[in-house]
Amino acid sequence: MDNRLFIFDTTLRDGEQVPGCQLNTVEKIQVAKALEALGVDVIEAGFPISSPGDFNSVIEISKAVTWPTICALTRAVQKDIDVAVDALKFAKHKRIHTGIGTSDSHIKYKFNSNREEIIERAVAAVKYARRFVDDVEFYAEDAGRT
């Protein structure tokens, strides 16, 4: 049995949600190189569809590091996945992190949908992402209330 621990870092994506914490592309590359030097296995580099800056940062980070997997966040939406695939084109190791809200609250109020449709959207997104990359991670937003 392999007991290796894999480190997944979200600093460059989730860390930017902190008020006043905005990094430019050069700073993000510096952070990515430091994470690589620390031995981080997976760097979630951004949410490419969210802004041109995030899209370009994912591209430049992909070029700047050698061995970590570069991960791009998406919603369970084909357009998001298409943009992520484009942003990851220079990554040596690529991952798409896709997902959807799964709690009753999200299903009812955010998506005006039902559980079966959400499951279908989730499965479709993972299958679609797998057409482009071998490494797909799924998240269930608000999973604690699911």
Per the CB < 8 A criterion, the answer to whether 12 and 32 are in contact is: yes
Where are the chain's structural domains? 8-145
Task: Please check the confidence at residue 38 and state whether its pLDDT lies above 80.
Answer: yes
pLDDT in tens, 78-125: 999 999 999 999 999 999 999 999 999 999 999 999 999 999 999 999
Q: Give the per-residue pLDDT at 97.
A: 99
pTM of structure: 0.93
Fold of 8-145: TIM Barrel (3.20.20)
Distance of CA 41 to CAs 32, 45, 65, 78, Å? 11, 12, 11, 26
CA–CA dist 17, 39 (Å, integer): 24
Task: Please check the confidence at residue 77 and state whether its pLDDT lies above 80.
Answer: yes
3-state secondary structure of 88: coil
Question: What DSSP state is assigned to residue 68?
Answer: S
Percent of the chain with pLDDT over 70: 99
